[in-house]
Amino acid sequence: MPDGRLLPLGLPKLLLNATYGIDNLRMPLMGVRPEYQGKGIDAMLILATMDNAIPNGYVGCETSWILDTNDRLLNMIDEIGATQDKEYAMFDCDVDDG
């Protein structure tokens, strides 16, 4: 982008090179309605993502937050051989008004 400007030529260059070097994808949300849970639909979604990602050059996938109480999803992720590389914690505190 010449001189940090997007227009007129910078934006097309940015869009053209937007995926250069990206080899990981992110699955920010994945959920199955309660009436369909336990029927393998969640596994099919993960499998379909993997089947489509690998031929397109993706080598890794990051999921969104998974609660440590979500045993179904944690077991499924363990079954496909995924590894955990991050852990987030949430804390609660009162903020004094004054």
Q: pLDDT tens, position by position, for the chain (98 residues)?
A: 456 777 777 777 777 777 677 888 888 877 788 898 888 888 888 888 888 998 988 888 888 788 888 888 788 888 888 887 888 888 898 888 76
In this structure, what are the phi and psi dihedrals at residue 61, rounded to the nearest 5 degrees?
Answer: -145, 135
Domain total in the chain: 1
The confidence score (pLDDT) of residue 55 equals 92
State the greatest distance between any 2 C-alpha atoms of the chain, in Å, as a whole number: 57
Q: Is residue 27 part of a domain?
A: yes
**Residue from 79, 77, 52 nearest 65 by CA:** 77
Q: Is residue 94 part of a domain?
A: no
The confidence score (pLDDT) of residue 3 equals 65
Q: Is residue 65 part of a domain?
A: yes
Please say whether the dihedral angle defined by the alpha carbons of residues 40, 55, 27 and 70, taken in this order, is positive or negative: positive
**Structural domain span for residue 31:** 19-37+57-82
Q: Is residue 51 part of a domain?
A: no
Contact of 66 with 73, CB cutoff 8 Å: yes
Q: Is residue 50 part of a domain?
A: no
The confidence score (pLDDT) of residue 35 equals 93
The confidence score (pLDDT) of residue 1 equals 42
CA 65 – CA 62 distance, rounded (Å): 10
Q: Is residue 63 part of a domain?
A: yes
